[in-house]
Amino acid sequence: MTTAMMAEPRGGFHELALSPPLMEALERAGYREPTPIQAAFIPEALTGRDVIGQAQTGTGKTAAFLLPFLNQWRDENRPGPQALILAPTRELVVQVAEEAAKLSPHSRCRAVPIYGGQRFRQQLTQLQRGCNIAVGSPGRVLDHLSRGTLSLQNVRYVVLDEADRMLDIGFRPDIEKILRRCPQPRQTLLLSATLPPPVLRLAQRYMVEPLNINLSPAKVTVENIRQTYFTVDEDRKFDLLLKVFERDEPRQCIIFCERKRWVEDVYRMLRKHRQRVAAMHGDLPQSLRNRIMQGFRDGKIVYLVATDVVGRGIDVKNISHVINYDIPIDPENYVHRIGRTGRIGADGIAIAFITPEQGDQLTAIEHYINKQIECEEISGFQTYRTRVRPDGDTPRASQPVFGRSIKRYSKRV
């Protein structure tokens, strides 16, 4: 169905033959060289064909799918958006709209973010003021469509960003309803970290002979991220966290927990020891989530305790540390989480807290990333009680994890 192609990075932005106003916008944004996904994706998308880009966030994928549209966009005063971008989370929607504004030629192409949790009226006013690119989460976009406050009749360019994630969340019916209302002919682009069968089925149905550009996660992960783990008993995790902070004094740090309640617990405890701490999860009101993300982006918040709601797509350049206070059950999420650090050109540190029972989970992650994660200790600090392993041996720091059970539970982030 798709033509596969491994991405081969090519030369600088001038080789992409982009329009002079767009080159100026790139200059203003400080983008000098295309990232590998941009170098591979943009020339194909510029031909007008449908393209699938297999790339993670942090690789420059947003500009990869925005630039081909911005290059051909002309200020023609047509009503309604000419591009529609669907993204899974509110934070990502806002971020894509911001990137579009940053790269807009002559700053005239208007991108409007459309997401739940924000006042409908407010979005309507923004849409009525003029919208060239509608960036939205599927649910809210559909809302506007059914109320007749958004028209897709002039849309010629559709992007499904983080398609795998959107399907995971259950947006498939909404996405399909929206795609059916997007006119033909159009160009459809799909970005996804992984291409499991449901994503491929979606592509098969709504794209025309897409070219698949593969910058798979294993290749782009995390070369510049130092990954380590501690073996630690559940009830020692918090003390270990403080020790790590004392040792490293992170510039900015995300502490990932698996559940909202655990986020709140760690947040409350951490607030007593450190300043500039915030918590982030799906139960917080949207306005507060926006303020927290802004505070984190501005560097006013140093420690962000969070669920996977910030696991993907969120781009904050200054993050030096990602702590997996609880490791994710899904190895793919591990890669997304640690990708919050080590953004383009920067180095990062990812530390996982592994309880002695989570050996299998650690192994699964190591297989997934095809790399062994280094074990570390802080001298003089005991992270787990010495126990006798089932085979009678005592766990050592270099070989500490044992146990076969992976606890499964349902979770909402």
Distance CA 331, CA 369 (A): 8
Choice between 328 and 339, CB closer to ligand AMP: 339
According to DSSP, the residues that pair with 144 across neighbouring strands are none
b/e for 286-314, b at 16 or more Cβ within 10 A?
eeebbebbeebbeeebbbbbbbbbbbbbb
* Residue 34 engages ligand AMP in binding (rule: CB under 6 A): yes
Nearer to ligand AMP, 35 or 231 (CB): 35
Q: Does 60 engage in binding with ligand AMP (CB under 6 A)?
A: yes
The single residue among 40, 54, 61, 88 that binds ligand AMP, judged by CB under 6 A, is: 61
Pick the closer one to ligand AMP by CB: 42 or 141.
42
SS3 of residue 137 by DSSP: coil
Minimal distance in Å, beta carbon 169 to ligand AMP?
19
Site size for ligand AMP (CB under 6 A): 16
Contact range with ligand AMP by CB under 6 A, out of 34-42, 117-125, 249-257, 290-298: 34-42
Candidates 2, 54, 59, 71: give the one binding ligand AMP (CB under 6 A).
59
Q: State in angstroms the smallest separation of the CB of 225 from ligand AMP.
A: 14
Q: Determine if 63 is a binding residue for ligand AMP (CB under 6 A).
A: yes
62 is an interface residue for ligand AMP by CB under 6 A: yes
Angle among Cα 18, 87, 226 to the nearest 5 degrees reads 85
Decide if residue 356 touches ligand AMP (CB under 6 A): no
Distance CA 277, CA 268 (A): 9
Phi then psi for 20, rounded to 5 degrees?
Answer: -55, -45
- DSSP-based three-state secondary structure for 38: helix
List the interface residues with ligand AMP, window 4-33 (CB under 6 A): 31, 33
Footprint on residues 70-109 left by ligand AMP (CB under 6 A): 99
**By C-beta, is 228 or 290 nearer to ligand AMP?**
290
Residue from 169, 224, 167 nearest 197 by CA: 167
Interface with ligand AMP (CB under 6 A), residue from 57, 71, 104, 307: 57
Q: CA-to-CA distance for 392 and 180, rounded, in angstroms?
A: 62
Of 63 and 365, CB closest to ligand AMP = 63
Q: Does 341 bind ligand AMP (CB under 6 A)?
A: no
Distance (Å, rounded) from C-alpha 23 to C-alpha 354? 47
Q: How far is the CB of 351 from ligand AMP (least distance, A)?
A: 22
CB of 16 to ligand AMP, least distance (A): 11
- The interface region with ligand AMP, picked from 52-60, 220-228, 245-253, 299-307 by CB under 6 A, is 52-60
**Residues in 296-315 at the binding interface with ligand AMP, rule: CB under 6 A:** 315
**CB-side neighbour CA atoms (13 Å) of 276:** 16
- Residue 280's SS3 state is strand
Between 44 and 315, name the residue whose CB sits nearer to ligand AMP. Answer: 315
Amino acid at 274: R
How far apart, in whole angstroms, are the C-alpha atoms of residue 139 and residue 144? 9
The sheet carrying 83-86 orders its strands as 3-6, 211-214, 51-54, 187-192, 157-160, 83-86, 133-136, 111-114
The residue from 4, 6, 218, 344 that contacts ligand AMP (CB under 6 A) is: 344
Q: Which stretch binds ligand AMP (CB under 6 A): 61-69, 109-117, 297-305, 346-354?
A: 61-69
Is the separation of the CB atoms in 295 and 278 below 8 Å?
Answer: yes
Q: Which of 58, 68, 136, 250 binds ligand AMP (CB under 6 A)?
A: 58
The least CB distance from residue 63 to ligand AMP, in Å, is 4
Q: Is the dihedral of CA 75, 79, 82, 85 positive or negative?
A: positive
Binding footprint of ligand AMP on the chain (CB under 6 A): 31, 33-35, 38, 57-63, 99, 315, 343-344
